Structure 1
Amino acid sequence: IEYKGSVNRANGKSMGDCFFGCDRCQEVCPFNQGEASRYISLPTTDELLKMEEDEFTGMFEKTTFSRAGLEKIKTNIRAIRD
C-alpha cells in the first residue's frame, strides 16, 4: 500500500491475492501473534468495488484503509483480478 506508482495488470500479478499491502504485514507482525481482541467483518472485494465514497468513509474512517483510499483499493483489486 506504500507503493506510490500505479498498480496494473503486469505488476498486480506479483501481488498474488493481496490487494492491500498490510495483508502480509498483519500475518508476521509480532504485535498480532496473540488472540485477536475482536473480530470484524470486512466487505468482500465485490462489495468494495461497488462501494461509494461515503459508505467507505463511514466504515473505515481512522483506519489504515482510509489512508489508502477507496480508489487505490479498487485499483489494486482490479489489478489482481485481471
Structure 2
Amino acid sequence: MVTNVSEKDKTLQEIIAWCERLETEGRRLAYALLLQHDMGAYGAVIGQVNAYGKIADHCRSMLGSMPSEVPNQSEDAK
C-alpha cells in the first residue's frame, strides 16, 4: 500500500514510463507489419499500443491526487 503522495506518484511515473516504452516498441512493430501487409497482426499490435496509451493516460490523471484524510472509522474507535 502506498503511504504518501510522492511514493504514489513515483510508482505512477514508473508505470507511465513502462507503458510509453512498450507503446513506442509496439508502434515500431506495427509499422513493420504494415509494410509486410500483415493486417491481422497489425490490428492486434495496434490494439495493444492503444491499451498502453490509455493506461499511461489514466496514470497521468491520477498523479498528485490523493483523498483527504478521513477520521478513524474502525469499530474500536470511540
Bin of the TM-score, shorter chain as denominator length:
under 0.3
TM-score, normalised by the number of residues in structure 2: 0.25
Quick one: higher RCO (CA 8 Å, sep 6+), 1 or 2? 1
Which has the larger share of helix? 2
Larger Rg: 2
